[in-house]
Amino acid sequence: MKLAVTGKGGTGKTTIAGLLARFFADDGFRVLAVDADPDANLASAIGLPEDQARAIVPISQRRRLIKERTGAQPGRPGQMFKVNPTVSDIADAYAVDHRGIKLLVMGGIQTGGAGCACPENTLLRNLLSEIILNRDEVVIVDMEAGIEHLGRATSRAIDLMIIVVEPGSRSLDTAETIMRLAREIGVSSFGIVGNKIRNEEEKRWLEARFPGDKILGMVSDRDIIRESDLNRIALADRLDDDLRKEFGAIYRACKSARPAR
């Protein structure tokens, strides 16, 4: 099962990705959680202790590994390098284990412009692609809103692209753009999580904007979520009955997504 979590900045992608990872893991699945957001913080969302989270070196900053695999120095343009570096051992070698979840922090993949054709980007893109195509665990990728670095083959192997939306037109516009771009590169299945819902009116507002079968679920706006983030406490360890019900519904909807291939 390959899940990618996207959406406008700040909508709750990392919160949702972290909780899903914990729900799958607590249910007995092997989980590989991939932090593909340059501003990585999935570690705290899955509840990794702060000292361990701080010690993680993202793949994008592992200069020796990048040099060894691509044959070129990272950050230096104009060099020859391998476009198909060996990456299949990287997830197991560099992921950190926490409560049944393997967490792999990728670091930033630059998109567009000159940043695209450098050795570190090539390594990261190949790695993400290899993970989505070949791993047999539940893979949950916390992405940024940009999905341009997903290639076609990779996109087609995503079983469900989860788009986190807040009640608001800007978040909605971003969701629509993501969906259009993702469809163009071959993503076939989408699910919406409505997050930070403050009342019935906001819930209905979102419900009116997506087909019912596309909505995986909604999460209320709750101080406990913000406070968990502020105090670096794993939200999954503090869920009350209401939140457990909301997330449980989202988890079950994700679990029953039809495989892409």
* Listed ranges 5-13, 72-80, 117-125, 132-140: which one lies at the site for ligand ATP (CB under 6 A): 5-13
Q: Does 225 bind ligand ATP (CB under 6 A)?
A: yes
Partners of 160 in beta bridges: 3
* Listed ranges 28-36, 51-59, 94-102, 224-232: which one lies at the site for ligand ATP (CB under 6 A): 224-232
* Nearest Cα to Cα of residue 124 among 140, 106, 150, 112: 106
Nearer to Mg ion among residue 14 and residue 154 (C-beta): 14
Q: Binding residues for ligand ATP, how many (CB under 6 A)? A: 18
* Three-class SS of the chain: CEEEEEECCCCCHHHHHHHHHHHHHHCCCCEEEEECCCCCCHHHHHCCCHHHHHHCCCHHHCHHHHHHHHCCCCCCCCCCCCCCCCCCCHHHHHCEEECCEEEEECCCCCCCHHHHHCHHHHHHHHHHHHHHHHCCCEEEEECCCCCCCCCHHHHHCCCEEEEEECCCHHHHHHHHHHHHHHHHCCCCCEEEEEEEECCHHHHHHHHCCCCHHHEEEEEECCHHHHHHHHCCCCHHHCCCHHHHHHHHHHHHHHHCCCCCC
Least distance between Mg ion and beta carbon 54 (Å): 17
Q: Does 221 bind ligand ATP (CB under 6 A)?
A: yes
Q: Does 71 bind ligand ATP (CB under 6 A)?
A: no
Q: Does 248 bind ligand ATP (CB under 6 A)?
A: no
Among 1, 15, 135, 139, binds ligand ATP (CB under 6 A): 15
Least distance between ligand ATP and beta carbon 11 (Å): 5
Tell how strand 101-105 and strand 96-98 pair up. Answer: antiparallel
Residue 6 binding result from ligand ATP, Mg ion, none, given CB thresholds of 5 to 8 Å by partner type: none
Least distance between ligand ATP and beta carbon 83 (Å): 29
Q: How far apart are CA 7 and CA 31, in angstroms?
A: 22
Site residues for ligand ATP, window 28-57 (CB under 6 A)? Answer: 37, 39
- Chain residues binding Mg ion by CB under 5 A are 13-14, 37
Least distance between ligand ATP and beta carbon 58 (Å): 15
Q: How far is CA 210 from the centre of its chain?
A: 22
Nearer to ligand ATP among residue 15 and residue 126 (C-beta): 15
Least distance between ligand ATP and beta carbon 221 (Å): 4
Nearer to ligand ATP among residue 130 and residue 144 (C-beta): 144
Least distance between ligand ATP and beta carbon 13 (Å): 4
Q: Does 195 bind ligand ATP (CB under 6 A)?
A: yes
Chain residues in the site for ligand ATP (CB under 6 A): 7, 9-15, 37, 39, 195-196, 219, 221-222, 225-226, 229
